[in-house]
Structure 1
Amino acid sequence: MTLDELNRLLDPQVLALIDAHASDDPATFAMQFHGRGDLPVRAIAEQIACRKKAAAKLPSLSRFPMLYTRLGLEQASGERAAEWKASLMRGWRAIDLTGGLGIDTLFLAQRFDSVVSCERNEALARLAEANRRMMGVTNVETLIGDSEELLAGYADDSFDWVLVDPARREHGGRSAGLSASSPDVVRLHDMLLRKARRVCIKASPALEISGLETQLPTLSEVIAVSVDGECKEVLLLLYREREAGLTPEIRAVCLGSETFEIVSSGGVPPARVVAEAPGTWLYEPDTAIIKARLTGELARQFHLEFLNRTVDYLTSDRLIEPFPGRSFRIEECRPFRQKSFRKELAELEITNAAIQRRDFPLSVEELRKRYKIGESSERYLFFTKNATGSLIWLSCRKP
């Protein structure tokens, strides 16, 4: 979006037109108003498309007539994750080094007396500023420019918290590594902690979490956050008072109909207890728990056993409710033999199923193609190994 398009979108008559056509198909709107030089037709169609996506990603915020850009909405934190992330922080003043669409900033503004939002893209910065003005948020200052240069201009201890969501696109692709991010939080570690006693880095959910303390000496907490079963982000909390060389606390937070948290116990991880045979129930932990490598802690807490020594499937003879992840009743558990598998499927009248495999030689696509298994949301087939390392398959249903 250009500044000219933004200024035209802010015309009250154009905003009213967006509201009137909010339920339209964007392509249909663009065709209907094609050739209208008095209207920013492309930009209006983009707003209609973005509002539909925002309704799911930002359920309460989208009730306001906010403006968006496609990329800004794609990169923005979802509302659940943004609100929970902001709950970690409180104080007099914070700075968001990567303002973007401004979703994180909106929630920070509820917890700090004042917030500074930095954004290098002027059109996006002005769009977020217009949204805040429309929502009556008055305690945010907008700065446009390079966030590193802007932060360097502040005196030490100017903020209680720094929030940064580094861009992870590099040379047209994506990189999950911290040192490849922009701004480079590894290089800026010392400066960040001079400007504020505490720093929150929103990292990629694909980030490898082991060994991060060697890059970030004051790393105190690593938090994997999921929303409705999908790992959305990994938060890295830096505390100035943290002694270098200490192992950070690892936490998983699962945001769903209920919020579930689990924390590493410290020291030696719990031993992996493997079941001699699958029980009545199969459990797949939430993605945040798997990401944080806390499945062993979860198994200890709920008295569950692992299905095998290599993957994060758990089992027991009793149903755990509520369980932070997915639960399945095991109807069949059999050795996987390629020659007889097709016949077994026929005997059990299994023609369609959702398929999942871990530590198994055939891909989901190969299994579907080779054995002609259609899609289904009623039955689930799991392909993995048992306690002895032999290939098995399980037919399951949701409770």
Structure 2
Amino acid sequence: MSRRGTVDSVERTELLELLSPGGLGLLDSLPPYESKGDVLALVAALRKQGHSPELVSAVLTQSRLRRKAAAKFGDFAPSMLFTEAGLEQATRLRVASLHAGRFRDAGLRHVVDLGCGIGGDALALAGLGLTVTAVEADEVTAAIASFNLAPFETAAVVHARAEEVDLGTADAAYLDPARRTAGHTGTTRLTDPNDYSPSLGFAFGLGERMPVGVKLGPGLDRELIPAEAEAQWVSVGGQLTEMGLWFRELARPGIRRSALVLGETGIDELTAAADSPDAEVGELGGFLLEPDAAVIRARLIGDLARSLDARMVSGGIAYLTADEPPHTPFATAFRVLETLPADEKRLKKALRERGIGTLEIKKRGIDIDPATLRQRLALSGPESATIVMTRVAGRHTTLLVERLARP
């Protein structure tokens, strides 16, 4: 038997043990997962109670994954099951709920989730009362999706390949193509979109025939984006998480580019009919703005600049500058305190004179490694600071800045 076959066999055995009434009861009885040291003691205790090695391994793995999943699934995480790879690729429930709202608002009642993984997006769709057929090619992952979707009468899981499913009764489809190698742990990211499962060609072809949503990595080559699709880049808490492509009824009229920003207290969106032209380059003002990564990827920096009466600091550099304090959820703002020397020796001297020992280094348009530079600067002192190393009007410049709170 091949190594992959052996791994699959072990995973099936552990899953069977886990899904038994005794297995699920044992999992729910465990204390919150804390440290590896605590786990070693817990393993010994569970084995002493007579539980099999497979069951002990399975429940402890799930306990660890449930804790990790809280960031994506919140209060739902303690009642769900996961695989390492499935959790890695799963959509945050907060974002999945927004996706589900698109289908509901478009009047689409039966959605086929092709490649449902552990069932995160299907859970959000079913939670809005939509009928969901969740399709998953991997046997173990399909079983886990079935468990996670069991509370919803309108959801059903099918163990099959996405390309083989009959979509005759469906109103729409949602796809989250696998962008990692096969398996449940130790997977690696696929760099060629042709290797995704299902392929982009299959997903885009489906989008020509029916309403379709496709979740992809935010760094997908923009040349691959179909002209008829609405492309939406999503950031959560400042972290760029995904790009969604929406076809036919799911694409909003007049919108082909969108930056959706989910903060701690709200949701904000910047939209346009196309990429926006950059703003004019102008003189450095009293404030520096770093656009959210979703705005940068959506190429809406120019629109953001014009809405704030801001300007570019230099051509091709994704920093803006303004004369007044900006109030926007679409950028991190800094007050410019002073311009420091760009030369490393003089910069080191200037920072030491200011007693700066803790330094945040931001950079754009300059070929430096912040960690290496910080080590070479060898700073010590009681003060902390942030510097921005970039080009201003085409010249290498170092700015000492103060971060402003986001609105």
Coarse TM-score class (shorter-chain normalised): 0.7 to 0.9
Query: Does 2:208 align with 1:200?
Result: no
Query: Does 2:46 align with 1:33?
Result: yes
Partner of 1:183: 198
Partner of 2:131: 114
Give the TM-score taking structure 2 as reference length.
Answer: 0.85
Q: Which amino acid in the other structure matches residue 222 of structure 2?
A: I
Question: Residues 89-133 of structure 1, C-alpha deviation per residue, up to 9 Å, x if partnerless?
Answer: 122211000111101001111345411100112222122212222
Partner of 1:88: 102
Q: Which amino acid in the other structure matches residue 138 of structure 1?
A: E
Cα RMSD after superposing both structures: 2.7
Query: Does 2:238 align with 1:261?
Result: no
Distance in 2, Cα, partners of 1:189 & 1:290: 24
Secondary structure of 2:241's counterpart equals strand
Q: Which amino acid in the other structure matches residue 70 of structure 1?
A: E
After the TM superposition, which of the residue ranges 338-347 and 226-235 deviates more from structure 2?
Answer: 338-347
Partner of 2:402: 397
Query: Does 2:280 align with 1:273?
Result: yes
Distance in 1, Cα, partners of 2:49 & 2:379: 51
Secondary structure of 2:358's counterpart equals coil
Query: Does 2:174 align with 1:163?
Result: yes
Is the helix fraction higher in 1 or 2?
2
TM-aligned CA distance change 1:189 to 1:341, over 3 Å:
closer
Deviation for aligned residue 1:185: 2.5
Distance in 2, Cα, partners of 1:129 & 1:89: 22
The one of 159, 163, 166 equivalent to 1:148 is 163
Unaligned runs of 5+ in 2: 1-9
Partner of 1:350: 356
Secondary structure of 2:74's counterpart equals coil
Secondary structure of 1:159's counterpart equals coil
Secondary structure of 2:82's counterpart equals coil
Distance in 1, Cα, partners of 2:204 & 2:171: 15
Deviation for aligned residue 1:165: 0.7
TM-aligned CA distance change 1:241 to 1:52, over 3 Å:
closer
Secondary structure of 2:71's counterpart equals helix
Deviation for aligned residue 1:265: 4.5
The one of 76, 83, 91 equivalent to 1:77 is 91
Partner of 1:371: 377
Query: What is the aligned length?
Result: 380
Unaligned runs of 5+ in 1: none
Secondary structure of 1:274's counterpart equals coil
Distance in 1, Cα, partners of 2:382 & 2:258: 34
Secondary structure of 2:171's counterpart equals strand
Distance in 2, Cα, partners of 1:354 & 1:364: 8
Question: Residues 301-322 of structure 1, C-alpha deviation per residue, up to 9 Å, x if partnerless?
Answer: 1111122212111121222234
Does the aligned pair in 2 maintain the 1:179–1:187 contact within 8 Å? no
Partner of 2:7: none
Distance in 2, Cα, partners of 1:188 & 1:149: 13
Distance in 1, Cα, partners of 2:245 & 2:155: 24
Give the TM-score taking structure 1 as reference length.
Answer: 0.87
Distance in 2, Cα, partners of 1:105 & 1:391: 49
Distance in 2, Cα, partners of 1:323 & 1:281: 15
